[in-house]
Amino acid sequence: MNRLEQFGHGGDRWTAGERFGIHPADFVDFSANINPLGPPESVVHLLQEALKDSGVPLLSQYPDPDCRGLRQALAEKLDVEPEYLAVGNGGAEWIDLAAAVFQPDRVGLMLPSFAEYAAAAEKRGLPIVTATVNPQRGWQPDRRQLLQLIHRSDLVYLGHPNNPTGTLLPLALLEEAAEEAAQAGTVLVVDEAFLDFVEHGEQHSLIRRISVFPTTVLLRSMTKFYALPGLRLGFAVSHPDNIRRLRQYQIPWSVNGLAQAAGVAALKDRDFEKRTRTWLTEERSFLLRELDQLDGVEVFPGEVNYFLLKLADQPRGRFTAQWLQERMGRQGIMIRDCSTYSGLDERYVRVAVRSREENRRLVEALRRVLGRVGVDQR
Ligand SMILES: Cc1ncc(COP(=O)(O)O)c(C=O)c1O
């Protein structure tokens, strides 16, 4: 039987559809962490107009190979020079290309973390050096562990916030890591794909001081906050020398015209941003409160729009993420089985924060399923 994560990630409605005999569109997906308010109306409207070919013919012309409009819009919003920016086909493109571009002898990972960091190294036969964080220390690396990782490898990937734990590193530690990486000649790839969901996220980023960290590459995604995973859009922020190198490895026109136009429109939509913040503040605390009340589940709150959960051992044995995922899937609810993350085991699952109605549905289903523990566990 295929795992729902057979292609490495959550959000695979097609595999879920085959497995549970439900139409892919009919699942409520808590396994990918996408903003349920999006995509912004303004983006949908723009794409509809574009497809009528009434504006710039986005389908019939090659897209701007330099993503000029979007880079300019990003530069203004983030207050960085456009030379510090490279737009990609999702953050995933830069995660992958970083391992090709910088040709490290060894790649450093802090586990558990997003699977594509290891995949980028493995597909190129690059040895991986790891350090592991644990729940006893709030999933935080200690200083020595992080600095050692930087010295033991030539390229380190750090999730910030980390997926699946949802945790942020203290900014002072991140700065020290970036300084140490520069001295050691190690490339530090800080993946900020979920930073937009963090309250005052920019204050947790090295972006303000990126010019003083010559070996640090920040990665951002526009697919999660703006709910555009089907279009693919992300970008890197780094010293122009690194940006030039990254760009050399990129497939020409890797960012299609619709994605570029959607990105510009999304960045302008401040109302969407505001509504998202209000939704997240309310729904994060609602879902956290509800999940905390469930028997048999330990909740790790993290700082973002998803929660890592640990299924508690029961008097009559342990029940697993796959067991839970199966029972939720039959009810049309997708959750992420986190046993596929190195550094976690079969007791971990992850769920996204969604709308009030969907969050209620999730909690009710969990309550029903977990209430049957020991009855149909096997
Ligand atoms: C931590 C993290 N980084 C990056 C990505 C890639 O995002 P995208 O390529 O859609 O921008 C993901 C997607 O799940 C992720 O979880």
Domain residue extents for the chain:
13-30+271-371, 41-269
Residue 183 has pLDDT above 60, yes or no: yes
Q: What local confidence, expressed as pLDDT, does residue 319 receive? A: 82
Rg for the chain, CA atoms, rounded: 21
| Entry field: residues in the chain | 378
- Residue 88 beta carbon below 6 angstroms from any ligand 1 atom: no
Residue 377: pLDDT band (50, 70, 90) is very low
- Average pLDDT score over the chain: 95
State which ligand 1 atom lies nearest to the alpha carbon of 93.
9
Beta-carbon contacts of 372 under 8 Å, excluding residues fewer than 6 positions away, are none
Q: What local confidence, expressed as pLDDT, does residue 180 receive? A: 98
If one residue of 93, 163, 218 were mutated to test the ligand 1 pocket, choosing by the most ligand atoms within 8 A of its CB, it would be 163
If one residue of 114, 218, 256 were mutated to test the ligand 1 pocket, choosing by the most ligand atoms within 8 A of its CB, it would be 114
- Residue 159 beta carbon below 6 angstroms from any ligand 1 atom: yes
Model confidence over 306-321: pLDDT tens digits?
999 999 887 666 789 9
Model confidence over 276-305: pLDDT tens digits?
999 999 999 999 999 999 999 999 999 999
Residue 53: pLDDT band (50, 70, 90) is low
Q: Same CATH topology for 13-30+271-371 and 41-269? A: no
Region 41-269: CATH code: 3.40.640.10
Cis peptide before 161 (omega within 30 of 0): yes
Provide the 3-class DSSP secondary structure of residue 319: coil
> Domain 13-30+271-371: which CATH class?
alpha beta
- Residue 329 beta carbon below 6 angstroms from any ligand 1 atom: no
- How far is ligand 1, taken at its centre, from the CA of residue 193, in Å? 6
Taking the CA atoms of 12, 18, 19 and 23 in sequence, report the sign of the dihedral they define.
positive
Model confidence over 232-270: pLDDT tens digits?
999 999 999 999 999 999 999 999 999 999 999 999 999
- In angstroms, the CA 341 to CA 374 distance is 26
If one residue of 70, 96, 116 were mutated to test the ligand 1 pocket, choosing by the most ligand atoms within 8 A of its CB, it would be 116
- Residue 191 beta carbon below 6 angstroms from any ligand 1 atom: yes
- How far is ligand 1, taken at its centre, from the CA of residue 376, in Å? 35
User: What is the tally of helices (H) and strands (E) in the chain?
Assistant: 12, 13
State which ligand 1 atom lies nearest to the alpha carbon of 89.
9
Q: What local confidence, expressed as pLDDT, does residue 49 receive? A: 86
- Residue 307 beta carbon below 6 angstroms from any ligand 1 atom: no
The proportion of the chain whose per-residue pLDDT surpasses 90, expressed as a percent, equals 90
- Residue 157 beta carbon below 6 angstroms from any ligand 1 atom: no
Residue 215: pLDDT band (50, 70, 90) is very high
State which ligand 1 atom lies nearest to the alpha carbon of 9.
14
- In angstroms, the CA 224 to CA 175 distance is 26
User: In this structure, which residue's CA is closest to atom 3 in ligand 1?
Assistant: 193
Kindly report the number of other CB atoms within 10 A of residue 325's CB atom.
Answer: 24
